[in-house]
């Protein structure tokens, strides 16, 4: 192990990997990789800075070794003696898993022992774990059980530049505990962006800069805008593959669906070209990708072949893939956006920021001079924002407000935010929690609110789960909650079998709507003994089902803790749908003459074509989420009776909101219905 570790440290990733099967040495270009990480020469300086200062900002180019090396240095230096832990947060689950696996491998321990990770619904740690990687959301939840985080000697808030909601809240809370825990060390690690701002926020904490080494990257733009960036990306990959010198390719897309489509297109075209071209390994990477598939992107490319990694912006800064020389960047990303007036949250594909575009281009220049092909015009860069807006300013804050309230932080207006959220967003979060019954009219946490905070899910979902107690359907609701947590990855729809796949999906349709369909899928899977074969035959993704099963088990354990009894509604779908309504009554839409409109704000919305209710178009619907692609689509919808709204949310709905409920039966005066009055 000593020997291996020395090799890791001095020869780097490319060589040490050769043991695991591939002959890295055959390919001269693999040898160039990572003889040393930029952080290596700074080990001693860094350790002495940490010992001198309580809070340190660490700035370094992506791939310089911040995430994988610094916690190891501190571990070697004895910061974990006495059973204390070093915690390192990541905004993304995939990064927490993959980086901890890498560190465990470098140290030579089994993942889950000394080195582990915790992400929502998955805890891969043990009492022996001293190096703990976790999502920022999980560390935030640890405040609930241990308000001073006394088990940690060091907290490294990594990828701070991402400015996720949870990271931003952690900044405020950690700054606070650092004041009365002088022995606690806090490291704020970031790519080379915005670090002065972190220093200012943390009372002028010093900035430790790890000088980067970066090769020049030539940037190319298209002459005219691309109508179809997926097609353009596929063509560019093949052009590079056929005409350019060796080196792997990284393509940035916005999400799983696009990535899967693009991978299929690439594989398809390579198959048709057959032996006319060299081997092209097509590898996807996105948050929901199973971990064994994730690990593949790090394996060295076999000699003579080329690797193309098709990624979300997870590969922008969170993960570093060695050997990338070419980057293809269509210039888009998927972002949550929030309308504080209507309370509507939705995912939107939009141009990425210039800062992101630069990070993406930078990925091509780590091992040698590289090239970045931007699938947009040079002029388009003026359309891009300089940097992206911190998540706290464009998201629903219900979750975080509930958590802060449970920590006894009542004055949210004066919380120490690095960038405060818009006032109306805070107010709306309070209002929503009040309507859900989590806060009383004084803004204090209710008993229900306290129980809701125990569940690591959004307030609407936790309200739904708790409402299942009243409606005696916790068995069904747990399944639905678990299935929703993996919802877009249940049905498998390969390009060459679209008709079969769609038929298989429709065979699961049952009355009531998509939640009931998900329940049906899960129930059938349980009945056939969690069979892989059954999944295969029914175009269901086995891995997603397994994940749903894990999530369900976790939730079941949590319900036991908050003493909710497991009960089944025994086929009564009204009870189940009422429980869903009790949590998601905000998400009500009604059918009007001009299509679906949300009830409170009259916003036009559409049933997603994949929904089981696409044909039926019932009068009243509850949707799980909105996704904006070509229009505002409701994904996962159920049919409800409008009377239920008054039953579950008497504070929120008045009967006049729901007046046209019976108008199907009532004779309507032409041109004078409520819908026309809007």
Contacting positions for ligand ADP (CB under 6 A): 13, 34, 37, 60, 62-69, 98-99, 101-102, 298, 320, 322
DSSP annotation of 24 reads G
* CB-based closest residue to Mg ion: 67
- CB of 282 vs ligand ADP, minimal distance in Å: 19
- CB of 41 vs ligand ADP, minimal distance in Å: 14
Q: Which residues pair with 250 in a beta bridge?
A: 309, 327
How many CB atoms within 10 Å of residue 453? 22
Contact flags string 335-364 toward Mg ion, x per CB under 5 A: ------------------------------
- CB of 12 vs ligand ADP, minimal distance in Å: 7
Considering the complex, state which of residue 97 and residue 621 has its C-beta at the smaller distance from ligand ADP.
97
Considering the complex, state which of residue 321 and residue 452 has its C-beta at the smaller distance from ligand ADP.
321
Considering the complex, state which of residue 66 and residue 597 has its C-beta at the smaller distance from Mg ion.
66
**What does 63 interact with, of Mg ion, ligand ADP, none (CB < 5 to 8 A by kind)?**
ligand ADP
Considering the complex, state which of residue 136 and residue 322 has its C-beta at the smaller distance from ligand ADP.
322
- CB of 18 vs Mg ion, minimal distance in Å: 24
Considering the complex, state which of residue 125 and residue 425 has its C-beta at the smaller distance from ligand ADP.
125
Alpha carbon 143 to chain centroid, angstroms: 21
Geometric angle at alpha carbon 129, from 188 and 97, rounded to 5°: 65
b (16+ CB within 10 A) / e for 483-500:
bbbbbbbbbbbeeeeeee
**What does 353 interact with, of Mg ion, ligand ADP, none (CB < 5 to 8 A by kind)?**
none
What does DSSP say about strands 620-628 and 588-592: parallel, antiparallel, or unpaired?
antiparallel
Please answer whether residues 534 and 485 qualify as being in contact, where contact means their C-beta atoms are separated by less than 8 angstroms.
no
**What does 611 interact with, of ligand ADP, Mg ion, none (CB < 5 to 8 A by kind)?**
none
Geometric angle at alpha carbon 128, from 123 and 134, rounded to 5°: 35
- CB of 210 vs ligand ADP, minimal distance in Å: 8
191 HSE (CA, 13 A, CB side): 20
- CB of 189 vs Mg ion, minimal distance in Å: 7
- CB of 79 vs Mg ion, minimal distance in Å: 19
**What does 60 interact with, of ligand ADP, Mg ion, none (CB < 5 to 8 A by kind)?**
ligand ADP
Contact flags string 50-89 toward Mg ion, x per CB under 5 A: ----------------xx----------------------
Q: Which residues pair with 310 in a beta bridge?
A: 251, 284
Rounded-to-integer distance, Cα 464 and Cα 484, Å = 12
- CB of 98 vs ligand ADP, minimal distance in Å: 4
**What does 322 interact with, of Mg ion, ligand ADP, none (CB < 5 to 8 A by kind)?**
ligand ADP
Please give the size of the binding site for Mg ion, defined by CB under 5 A. Answer: 2
Rounded-to-integer distance, Cα 32 and Cα 12, Å = 10
Please answer whether residues 367 and 32 qualify as being in contact, where contact means their C-beta atoms are separated by less than 8 angstroms.
yes
Considering the complex, state which of residue 289 and residue 559 has its C-beta at the smaller distance from ligand ADP.
289
Window 575-614: residues binding Mg ion (CB under 5 A): none
Considering the complex, state which of residue 63 and residue 456 has its C-beta at the smaller distance from ligand ADP.
63
Geometric angle at alpha carbon 181, from 44 and 184, rounded to 5°: 25
Considering the complex, state which of residue 89 and residue 479 has its C-beta at the smaller distance from ligand ADP.
89
Considering the complex, state which of residue 104 and residue 265 has its C-beta at the smaller distance from ligand ADP.
104
Strands of the sheet containing 131-135, edge to edge, are 122-124, 115-119, 131-135, 85-90, 152-157, 185-190, 55-60, 207-210
Backbone angles phi, psi at 422, to 5 degrees: -60, 140
Query: For 121, left (φ over 0), alpha (ψ -120 to 50), or beta?
Result: left
**What does 65 interact with, of ligand ADP, Mg ion, none (CB < 5 to 8 A by kind)?**
ligand ADP
- CB of 125 vs ligand ADP, minimal distance in Å: 18
Backbone angles phi, psi at 439, to 5 degrees: -120, 150
**What does 298 interact with, of ligand ADP, Mg ion, none (CB < 5 to 8 A by kind)?**
ligand ADP
Token pair, residue 586, equals: 């905000």
Among 96, 400, 366, 107, which Cα is nearest to 215's? 366
- CB of 67 vs Mg ion, minimal distance in Å: 3
Please answer whether residues 591 and 617 qualify as being in contact, where contact means their C-beta atoms are separated by less than 8 angstroms.
yes
Token pair, residue 160, equals: 């701070």
Please answer whether residues 58 and 33 qualify as being in contact, where contact means their C-beta atoms are separated by less than 8 angstroms.
no
Considering the complex, state which of residue 294 and residue 425 has its C-beta at the smaller distance from Mg ion.
294
- CB of 191 vs Mg ion, minimal distance in Å: 8
Rounded-to-integer distance, Cα 632 and Cα 455, Å = 29
**What does 573 interact with, of Mg ion, ligand ADP, none (CB < 5 to 8 A by kind)?**
none
634 three-class SS: strand
Considering the complex, state which of residue 63 and residue 449 has its C-beta at the smaller distance from Mg ion.
63
**What residues make contact with Mg ion under the rule CB under 5 A?**
66-67
């Amino acid at each position: 192990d000593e020997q291996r570790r020395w090799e890791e440290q001095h020869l780097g990733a490319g060589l040490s990997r050769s043991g695991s099967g591939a002959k890295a040495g055959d390919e001269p270009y693999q040898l160039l990789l990572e003889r040393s990480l930029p952080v290596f020469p700074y080990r001693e300086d860094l350790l002495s800075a940490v010992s001198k200062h309580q809070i340190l900002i660490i700035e370094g180019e992506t791939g310089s070794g911040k995430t994988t090396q610094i916690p190891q240095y501190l571990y070697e230096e004895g910061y974990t003696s006495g059973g204390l832990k070093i915690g390192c947060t990541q905004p993304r689950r995939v990064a927490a898993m993959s980086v901890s696996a890498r560190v465990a491998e470098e140290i030579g321990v089994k993942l889950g022992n000394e080195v582990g990770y915790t992400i929502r619904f998955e805890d891969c740690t043990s009492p022996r774990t001293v190096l703990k990687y976790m999502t920022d959301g999980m560390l935030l939840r640890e405040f609930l059980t241990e308000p001073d985080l006394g088990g940690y000697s060091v907290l490294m808030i990594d990828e701070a530049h991402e400015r996720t909601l949870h990271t931003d809240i952690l900044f405020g809370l950690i700054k606070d505990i650092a004041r009365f825990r002088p022995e606690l060390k806090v490291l704020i690690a970031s790519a080379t962006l915005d670090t002065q701002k972190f220093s200012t926020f943390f009372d002028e904490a010093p900035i430790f800069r790890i000088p980067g080494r970066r090769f020049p990257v030539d940037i190319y733009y298209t002459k005219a805008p691309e109508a179809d960036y997926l097609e353009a990306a596929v063509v560019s990959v093949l052009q590079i593959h056929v005409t350019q010198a060796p080196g792997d390719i990284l393509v940035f897309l916005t999400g799983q669906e696009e990535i899967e489509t693009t991978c299929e297109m690439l594989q398809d075209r390579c198959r048709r070209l057959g032996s006319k071209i060299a081997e092209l390994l097509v590898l996807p990477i996105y948050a929901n990708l199973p971990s064994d598939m994730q690990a593949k992107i790090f394996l060295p490319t076999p000699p003579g072949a080329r690797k193309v990694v098709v990624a979300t912006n997870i590969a922008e800064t969170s993960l570093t893939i060695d050997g990338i020389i070419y980057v293809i960047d269509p210039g888009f990303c998927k972002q949550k956006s929030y309308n504080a007036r209507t309370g509507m949250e939705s995912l939107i594909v939009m141009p990425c920021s210039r800062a992101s575009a630069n990070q993406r281009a930078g990925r091509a220049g780590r091992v040698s001079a590289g090239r970045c092909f931007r699938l947009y015009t040079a002029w388009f860069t003026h359309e891009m924002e300089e940097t992206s807006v911190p998540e706290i300013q464009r998201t629903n804050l219900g979750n975080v407000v509930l958590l802060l309230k449970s920590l006894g932080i009542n004055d949210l207006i004066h919380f120490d935010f690095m960038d405060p959220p818009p006032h109306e967003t805070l107010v709306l979060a309070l209002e929503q929690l009040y309507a859900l019954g989590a806060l009383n009219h004084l803004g204090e946490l209710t008993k229900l609110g306290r129980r809701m905070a125990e569940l690591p899910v959004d307030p609407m979902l936790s309200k739904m789960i708790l409402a299942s107690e009243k409606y005696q359907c916790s068995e069904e609701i747990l399944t639905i909650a678990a299935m929703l947590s993996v919802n877009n990855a249940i049905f498998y729809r390969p390009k060459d079998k679209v008709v079969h796949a769609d038929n298989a999906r429709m065979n699961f349709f049952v009355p009531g709507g998509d939640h009931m369909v998900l329940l049906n899928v899960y129930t059938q899977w349980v009945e056939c003994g969690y069979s892989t074969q059954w999944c295969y035959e029914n175009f269901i993704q086995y891995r997603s089902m397994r994940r749903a099963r894990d999530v369900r088990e976790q939730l079941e354990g949590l319900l036991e803790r908050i003493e909710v009894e497991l009960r089944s509604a025994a086929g009564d779908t009204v009870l189940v749908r009422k429980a869903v309504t009790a949590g998601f009554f905000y998400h009500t839409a009604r059918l009007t003459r001009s299509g679906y409109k949300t009830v409170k704000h009259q916003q036009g919305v559409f049933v997603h074509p994949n929904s089981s209710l696409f044909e039926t178009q019932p009068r009243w619907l509850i949707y799980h989420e909105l996704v904006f692609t070509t229009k505002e689509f409701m994904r996962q919808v159920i049919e409800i009776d409008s009377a239920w709204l008054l039953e579950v949310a008497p504070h929120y709905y008045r009967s006049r909101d729901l007046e046209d409920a019976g108008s199907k039966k009532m004779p309507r005066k032409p041109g004078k219905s409520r819908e026309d009055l809007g």
